[in-house]
Structures are given as C-alpha cells and as structure tokens.
Structure 1
C-alpha cells in the first residue's frame, strides 16, 4: 500500500510491478517512531539511509553507492555519540573500522581491519590520549602473529605471539622502567622450557622449567606456577581501554 507524506505530499513506500521497493521509504515502530528513512532503487538502498532506535534517537547513517552494495557507515550509541565508522560491502565490514568511546565524544578507542566481516591484519587499541595500548594481529578473525601491550607512557609492558589462535613463541613482560618482569616460552598454547620471574632490582626471583605446560617438579614449584599465572593474567588484562560492544 502506498503512503502519501502529510508534510510534502510525496508518495512513500512504493513498489514496482515486480514487487521491488522504489523511491522514498519510511518504516515505523509500533509506537509510531521512525525505524528507518531512506531511498531504494530496484529493491536496493540508494544514497543516504538512516536508522533509528525505538526511542527515536539516531542509530546509524549509511551512504550507499549507486549499486546499493557498498556503504560508508556511521553508527551511534543511544546517547547520540558516534560509536564506529567504516565501510560495508554486501552488508559485511570491509577495510579499516574505527571505534569510539560511549562516554567521551570523538575519543578513538580502537581500529580494526576487516575482510568479509572478519578481522584481518592489525588491530590497535588506544588510551584516551591516543597513545597505543595494544596491538594484535588477526587472520580470518583468529589471532595470528605478534601481540604487544603498552603502559600509558608508551613503554612496552608485554610482548608475545599467536599461531592460529594459540600462544606460541617467546613471552616477555616488563616493569614500567623497562626491566624484565618475567619471560619464557609458549608452544601450542602451553608453557614450555625455562621461565624466569624477576624482582624490580633485576635479580631473579624464581626459575621454573615446564614440559608440555607442567612444571618439572610439580610439588615444589606449585607456588611459583600460581604466582606466574597471576602475573601473566594481570599483564593480559591491563591496560584494557573501553570497549564499544555491539550496537546492532
């Protein structure tokens, strides 16, 4: 059924003889607020297309090309702040996407690279002053390659690597003055070989040898292993800038 706009007299929500959407379309929620407002050409969106939350606040603005398959998008939190910006191709994220704080206007918190809606390449998290907090590499949405985390002053706090989603290779953590805090090796997601924990003065606190993730002397080295678990967990969790979450 065609609708005529009371404000402009324009015909809305039209379909052609093949049932394809054409022209200006406005769809509303049951409460009467607009769900989306945009234009179609042969059933594909064309030009600027706006979506809204049920409370009428802006949810997204997408600008489509002439084919209706590629769009530059700005997505919004319910409070009106920009949540993310990037490009869609066939409704899948493509290329670089930027994600922003939900509480501080225009504060960039992360950048990710996508191919076919999957993270590929370098992903970066930032502190509010745009200092790099973390770098992670992905292949088809799986962690693969170097992973580094940084203190707010830009100094390295942790460095390791992933192979096909599993920790594999040297693991190093550092105090804020750059001295080593602990180091060791991962193989296929478990500790392997010699691990050393240091004091802040640079002297060694513990030395523990692992084979397939198990310390050679399990009874004597239980405390050292638990201590290392705690240190490693803290390094993995800090720093962690705000995450946008899913706004769809």
Structure 2
C-alpha cells in the first residue's frame, strides 16, 4: 500500500495481509520526502524496534514492542541535534523503573523512580553543573512524600522539608532560620 501527499510525494508505504492488516515494514515520510517513521507490523500491531525521526534525519524516539503491540523495554527520546533527552523503561505498556532526563548538554537533569506509569519512589534533580538541586520521594504521581531537601548550585543546603501524603510540605530546617515552620521550632525533627 502507498499513500501520497497532495504534492505527489509519498506519505506512507506498507504491506497488508489477506485481511487488510499491516504486515511487515512500515515507512512514513514528511512531505519533503524525508523519513518520519520506520517500524514493523504483525497483524496490524507494532512489533520490534520503532523509530520516529525529526525532519533533519535524526532519531526523535526509539522504542521496542513485543508481540501483540506491547511496549516493552527501553524507550529513548532525543533532542533534534541527536543528544539523548529522556531514557525510560516500559514493562507490558507500563512505565516502570528509573526514568532519566538529560540537559541538551548531555548532563543528567533528573532521575525519577517510576511504577505503574507514575512517579513512585526516590527522585533526584540536578543543576547542569552536576550539583544536586532537589532530593526526595514521590508517592503515586508528582506528590512529594517524606523528607524533601533542596540545595543551591554550589552544593550548599538551602532547606529540608517534611511532606505528608497530600504533598503538603513544611520546612523544618532552612539556612535562614526565620523561615522555619513554627511547629518545628517547638518540635525539632530528627531523621
């Protein structure tokens, strides 16, 4: 099968089986003629490695599918210049394990533990110079829980907070002691 843009350039190319389902190599193109997607289908479902491309020819997304069109394994997302932006893992279509986000320079920006498609576990955010900016734990999504710590770009601690299960955080230590929650002045937190 082949479909085309109004200007006549190829939009997509693929084969179909006797039931009309995509089977084998699938290619889609930008109107300019450059490759947009390269993947493989079996019975109309993705299988194997799928590549999505920027129009400049660099890979935008690389991901793996197992039989049945199930997203499994490492997925990489890239910046337009080819530098890795995000690395994440899927297991049976669910985001799980350590998700890593990078600055355009290639330096680590964030590491987050994922479970059931949500942030769930320890996380660390970094300044581009490599210093830790935030460290804590997420609970069932983007909700900080437990101890949450912040540093400046030179590595100097700024504050420490305790967050409850509703992601309400209270500062119990701050480099400027006037910014400490009054409760903790009377009841010091001891980790």
TM range (shorter): 0.7 to 0.9
Measure, in 2, the Cα distance between the counterparts of 1:77 and 1:117. Answer: 24
**Residues 45-91 of structure 1, C-alpha deviations (whole Å, 9 max, x = no match):** xxxx3222344321112256899863111111223221010101011
Q: Is 1:208 matched with 2:161?
A: yes
* Contact 2:27-2:38 within 8 A present in 1 as well: yes
Measure, in 1, the Cα distance between the counterparts of 2:170 and 2:133. Answer: 22
Q: Is 1:165 matched with 2:120?
A: no
* Contact 1:109-1:125 within 8 A present in 2 as well: yes
Q: Which runs of 5+ in 2 are unaligned?
A: 181-191
Measure, in 2, the Cα distance between the counterparts of 1:216 and 1:124. Answer: 33
Measure, in 1, the Cα distance between the counterparts of 2:60 and 2:85. Answer: 9
Counterpart in 1 of 2:14?
62
Structure-2-length-normalised TM-score = 0.78
* Contact 1:113-1:119 within 8 A present in 2 as well: yes
Q: Which runs of 5+ in 1 are unaligned?
A: 1-48, 225-248
**Residues 107-162 of structure 1, C-alpha deviations (whole Å, 9 max, x = no match):** 11110112333422111012334322110112333212210011223221100111
Change (3 A) 1:217 1:152: closer
Larger radius of gyration: 1
Structure 1 residue 92: Cα displacement: 1.2
* Residues 23-172 of structure 1 mapped to structure 2, 5 A cutoff: 49-63=1-15, 70-102=23-55, 104=56, 106-115=57-66, 116-172=68-124
**Residues 211-238 of structure 1, C-alpha deviations (whole Å, 9 max, x = no match):** 10333549xx9x99xxxxxxxxxxxxxx
Structure 1 residue 182: Cα displacement: 0.7
Change (3 A) 1:182 1:79: same
Structure-1-length-normalised TM-score = 0.61
Measure, in 2, the Cα distance between the counterparts of 1:164 and 1:208. Answer: 26
The 3-state SS of whatever aligns with 2:47 is: strand
Q: What root-mean-square deviation, in Å, do the aligned CA atoms of Structure 1 and Structure 2 show?
A: 2.7
Structure 1 residue 196: Cα displacement: 0.8
* Contact 1:65-1:71 within 8 A present in 2 as well: no
Which has the larger displacement, 126-135 or 177-186? 126-135
Measure, in 2, the Cα distance between the counterparts of 1:57 and 1:69. Answer: 21
The 3-state SS of whatever aligns with 2:154 is: coil
